[in-house]
Amino acid sequence: MNLRVRVVNCGSRHWYADIDDADDPQPDDPFWYVDNCRTQAQALDSACTELRLMSGRLVRGDHLDRVLEVTGVPV
């Protein structure tokens, strides 16, 4: 699995980050996301921390659920 972190500026003082499969053509169904970060650095730090945790889960052979699978609501 090839995961990627995406960080997006959604206006002044509003940053969004998500983690998704780099080969997934649908960006509305990530494995994880965070919204309303005050800075780009905060969004990136949160995403990298989560990516580290996800990598450990993948090494153990755990299945990663997408946000849509867990909540039923697309991001």
Tens digits of residue pLDDT in 48-64? 999 999 999 999 999 99
CA dihedral defined by 39, 45, 47, 50, rounded to 10 degrees? -150
- More confident position, 75 or 41: 41
What pTM was computed for the model?
0.84
DSSP 25-74: S-TTS-SEEEEEESSHHHHHHHHHHHHHHHHHHHHHTPPPPPHHHHHS--
Q: What is the pLDDT of residue 60?
A: 95
